[in-house]
Amino acid sequence: MDAPTTTSADNGTSGGGSGWFTPRTQPTTSQGSEPETTEGNRLAAMRPVGRPGADAGATPGARQEAARPVAREATAPAAQQATPPAAPEATAPEIPLHPSTTPTPPEPRLSGQRPAAAQQASPDAVLVRRTMAEVGPVADKVTSYFYALLFVRHPDLRSLFPAAMDTQRDRLLKALLTAAEHIDNTEVLVAYLQNLGRGHRKYGTRPEHYPAVGECLIGALSKYAYAVWDAETEAAWVRTYTTISQVMIDAAAADELRAPAWWYAEVVAHELRTPDVAVVTVRPDQPYPFLAGQYTSLETPWWPRIWRHYSFASAPRSDGLLSFHVKAVPAGWVSNALVHRARPGDILRLGPPAGSMTVDHTTDSGLLCVGGGTGIAPIKALVEDVAEHGERRPVEVFYGARSDHDLYDIDTMLRLQQAHPWLEVRPVVDRHGLVQLPDAIREFGPWYEYDAYVSGPPGMIRTGVDALRNTGVPAERIRHDALEELVAAGS
C-alpha cells in the first residue's frame, strides 16, 4: 500500500560498479572543517567497534510528508550549494535514531505498547532530554546545520543521500525526540535500532560512517544548546550515540550473513485500477521472505536513492511474485512513477521486509481489520494468510473509502468473502460526512475479544484506533502501520 528486463536500473547514471550506493572511499574530513578540529579531537572516542564483513563493492548498500522551509546557516555555504531544491517524496539514510511511529518507536507495533515504565531516569537520559528541550524551538536550524557540517566535513557521504533533503531534515529532530523519550527503554529502543541497522544496508551505510554522523550531530547540538551544554552533557551524548550506533552496526553485520542488502525486482504486471491507483506486480531476482501484513521499501530507476514504503498486497505466493497497491499523489515522485511510468520489464529495487502487523496463529481470536484507501492491500494479505492456515476464526473487514470510486478492490474482497464463510466484508463510504468509518466500527461492536488491525492514511489510523479503544478493544491488541513512515512515504 502507500506503506512495497533492463540491464541497469539506474540507466548507467550511478557511476559504475556493482551497486548504486557503494561509498567511494572511507569518509575524510574536508579542509572546510578546520575551525571544528578541537571539537573533533574531543570526540575521538566515538568509534564503534564494527564487525568484519564483505568488501564494500560486493554488498552495497506512499504517503506524503509536507516539506517545510529550512533555515540555513551562513557558516557552511559549501553544503548549501550541494543541496538542490526540495522534493516532497525524498528520503535518505536515516540518522540512527529515526522513529518508525508517532509518538512511539519502534517498527509498526502494538499501539498500546508504552515506553519504559515510570522509573527514575538515568543521568544520561536527563542530560539528553534537557538538550532536546533546549533545541526544540530551533529545530530547523539544528537539522540544517547538522547536514551542512556533515557534507562539508565528509563530502563522500553526500552520495548516500538523495538530491533533495527537506524531508530528511524533518526526520532528524523527530528521531532525536523519540530517542530522548525512550533512552531508558532498552527493550523497545534496541529492537528498533536493530531493524534500522539492517535497513540501512541498502543505502551502503558502513561502520566507518557512524562516527562522522555522531561528530556532526554533537557539533550541531552543542551550537544550539549552548545554554545547557557542558562537558558532562557532551560525554552523555557520546556514550549514548556510541551505544546506539554499535547496536546498528552489529545488526547489519549479522544480517549480511543471511540476506542481501536489497533485491532486484522486475515488473511483470501493471494494472491501472483507477486513474491514480495501480496494482504493481514484481518478480524478485531471488527468494524474498516476508509475512502477510508486512511492508518493504521500494526504489525506482527514475529516482535513485529515494525509497518509499509499500505494504505487500498478498500473503506469500508459491510463484514468488509480490504485489503492491500504489496511489499517485500530487508531487509524489515515486508514487507517480510507479502508477504512470512503470511498465512490465522495468527493474525496481526492494529493501528488506519490515513491520509487525502480522497474524498470531497461536491463538483463535477473531480479527477485526480496518482498511482505508490503498490500506486495503495489507488487509487483503492478512485475510489470505488466515485462509492459507486453514483456520476458521472470524474475520471482520471494514473497507473505508470517500466514494464508491475509491473502493477499487471491493470485487476482490467480495470474492474472498464468498469463498470463506468466516469472512465478513463491510464497505463503508463516507457520503458527505453522514457515514463515518469510526461510527460503523462502533455500530457493529463490541470488539473487545478481537485482535484489531488498522491500515490506511495516518488520519484514518488515528481515528480508527481511537474508535477501537472507545469500543473496548485493549490497546495492546491493536496493530497498525507505522504512522511516521506513512507520512514520509506520501501515500
Q: In this predicted model, what pLDDT tens digit does every residue of 209-232 receive, in sequence order?
A: 889 989 999 999 999 999 999 999
Q: Is the pLDDT of residue 429 over 70?
A: yes
Quick one: average pLDDT of 80-93?
A: 38
Q: What is the pLDDT of residue 2?
A: 43
Q: Is the pLDDT of residue 14 over 70?
A: no
Quick one: average pLDDT of 29-52?
A: 42
- Between 400 and 60, the more confident residue is 400
Q: Which three cell numbers stand for residue 295?
A: 511492508
Q: Which of 122-131, 178-187, 319-328 has the lowest mean pLDDT?
A: 178-187
Categorize the per-residue pLDDT at 78 as very low, low, confident or very high, splitting at 50, 70 and 90.
very low
Q: Which three cell numbers stand for residue 460?
A: 484514518
Categorize the per-residue pLDDT at 295 as very low, low, confident or very high, splitting at 50, 70 and 90.
very high
Task: Let me know: does 395 contact 369? Beta carbons within 8 Å.
Answer: yes
CA atoms within 13 A on the CB side of 464: 28
Q: What is the pLDDT of residue 483?
A: 52
Q: Are strands 295-299 and 307-311 parallel, antiparallel or unpaired?
A: antiparallel
Most confident listed range (35-39, 204-208, 413-417): 413-417
What average pLDDT does the chain have?
75
Cα dihedral: 101, 104, 105, 109 (round 10): -70
Q: Which of 4-13, 84-93, 421-430 has the lowest mean pLDDT?
A: 4-13
Helix (H, G, I), strand (E, B) or coil at 77: helix
Angle among Cα 340, 342, 348 to the nearest 5 degrees reads 140
The one-letter code for the residue type at 298 is L
Q: What is the pLDDT of residue 452?
A: 93
Q: What is the pLDDT of residue 202?
A: 82
Q: Which three cell numbers stand for residue 106?
A: 519502534
pLDDT over 90, % of the chain: 36
Helix (H, G, I), strand (E, B) or coil at 32: helix
Q: Which three cell numbers stand for residue 98?
A: 529515526
- Give Cα 225 to chain centroid, integer Å: 28
Q: Is the pLDDT of residue 292 over 80?
A: yes
For the chain, how long is the longest CA-to-CA vector?
71
Closest by Cα among 40, 108, 64 to 373: 64
- Between 93 and 162, the more confident residue is 162
Categorize the per-residue pLDDT at 192 as very low, low, confident or very high, splitting at 50, 70 and 90.
confident
Q: Is the pLDDT of residue 103 over 50?
A: no
Q: Which three cell numbers stand for residue 392?
A: 476458521
- Between 360 and 432, the more confident residue is 360
A 10 A CB-CB count for 208 gives: 16
Q: Can you spell out the DSSP letters for 228-270?
A: T--HHHHHHHHHHHHHHHHHHHHHHHHHHTTS-S-EEEEEEEE
- Between 269 and 41, the more confident residue is 269
Quick one: average pLDDT of 262-290?
A: 96
Cα–Cα distance, 445 to 479 (Å, whole number): 18
Instruction: Give the CA distances from residue 386 to residues 358, 394, 448, in Å, rounded to whole numbers and listed in that order.
Output: 10, 10, 20
Categorize the per-residue pLDDT at 355 as very low, low, confident or very high, splitting at 50, 70 and 90.
confident
Q: Which of 18-22, 112-116, 387-391, 487-491 has the lowest mean pLDDT?
A: 18-22
Cα–Cα distance, 34 to 153 (Å, whole number): 9
- Between 44 and 298, the more confident residue is 298
- Between 281 and 180, the more confident residue is 281
Q: Is the pLDDT of residue 5 over 60?
A: no
Q: What is the pLDDT of residue 268?
A: 98
Q: What is the pLDDT of residue 465?
A: 87
Q: What is the pLDDT of residue 184?
A: 79
Q: What is the pLDDT of residue 170?
A: 63
The one-letter code for the residue type at 282 is V
Cα–Cα distance, 460 to 486 (Å, whole number): 11
Number of H helices, E strands in the chain: 14, 11
Q: What is the pLDDT of residue 52?
A: 39
Helix (H, G, I), strand (E, B) or coil at 154: coil
- Between 247 and 96, the more confident residue is 247
Q: Are strands 277-284 and 322-327 parallel, antiparallel or unpaired?
A: antiparallel
Write the pLDDT tens digit of every residue in 152-178: 999 988 877 776 666 666 666 666 666
Categorize the per-residue pLDDT at 281 as very low, low, confident or very high, splitting at 50, 70 and 90.
very high
Can you name the residues that pair with 271 across neighbouring β-strands?
A: 279
Categorize the per-residue pLDDT at 286 as very low, low, confident or very high, splitting at 50, 70 and 90.
very high
Supply the pTM of this predicted model.
0.66
Quick one: average pLDDT of 417-445?
A: 83
Asked if the bond preceding 457 is cis, omega within 30° of 0, the reply is: no
The separation between the first and the last C-alpha atoms of the chain, rounded to the nearest angstrom, is 8
DSSP 8-state secondary structure symbol assigned to residue 16: S
pLDDT over 70, % of the chain: 69
